[in-house]
Amino acid sequence: MLGIVLMRPDKIPTTIYFVRHGHVRNPNDVYYGRLPGFPLSEEGLHQAAASRDALAGIPIAAIYSSPQLRARQTARVILSAHEGLALNISELLDEVYSPFDGYPHSKMEERNWDIYSGVDRKYEQPVDVLRRIKQFIAEACKE
């Protein structure tokens, strides 16, 4: 996931756009979650370019990305339209911490893509993800 912070004059609320990474090359058809090494596919690169074009005329103050390769690639494409900005990596934007990384899509379909039910407490639940995103928003607005 990417967080894009818009530059605003004083006393106008900060706007943050959340952009999902583009389509991923996933030759083994697995739930990749936080697994490393899943780059954008050609389609994903085109999707990232469409996001870049949609955001090109907007005054962006900062771009944040999860540490995942696909998100960093998407962010770099968007950054290409915004000279002078650096890519900021935030683990707060990472994928859900789940025990299912690497599971075949067929197994995930059997679970109806439910990554929360019946998992050990060490894995994230929706409230944990919400807490992370709220923390990201607070930190991005402060910066």
Instruction: Quickly state the pLDDT bin for 32 (edges 50, 70, 90).
Output: very high
* CATH code assigned at 96: 3.40.50.1240
Q: What is the mean pLDDT of residues 68-79?
A: 97
Instruction: Quickly state the pLDDT bin for 85 (edges 50, 70, 90).
Output: very high
Q: Identify whether the C-beta of residue 59 lies closer than 8 Å to the C-beta of residue 6.
A: yes
3-state secondary structure the chain: CEEEEECCCCCCCCCEEEECCCCECCCCCECCCCCCCCCECHHHHHHHHHHHHHHCCCCEEEEEECCCHHHHHHHHHHHCCCCCCCEEECHHHCCCCCCCCCCEHHHHHHCCCCCCCCCCCCCCCHHHHHHHHHHHHHHHHHC
The pTM score is: 0.89
For residue 63, what are the domain limits? Answer: 2-142
* Count of structural domains within the chain: 1
Instruction: Quickly state the pLDDT bin for 4 (edges 50, 70, 90).
Output: low
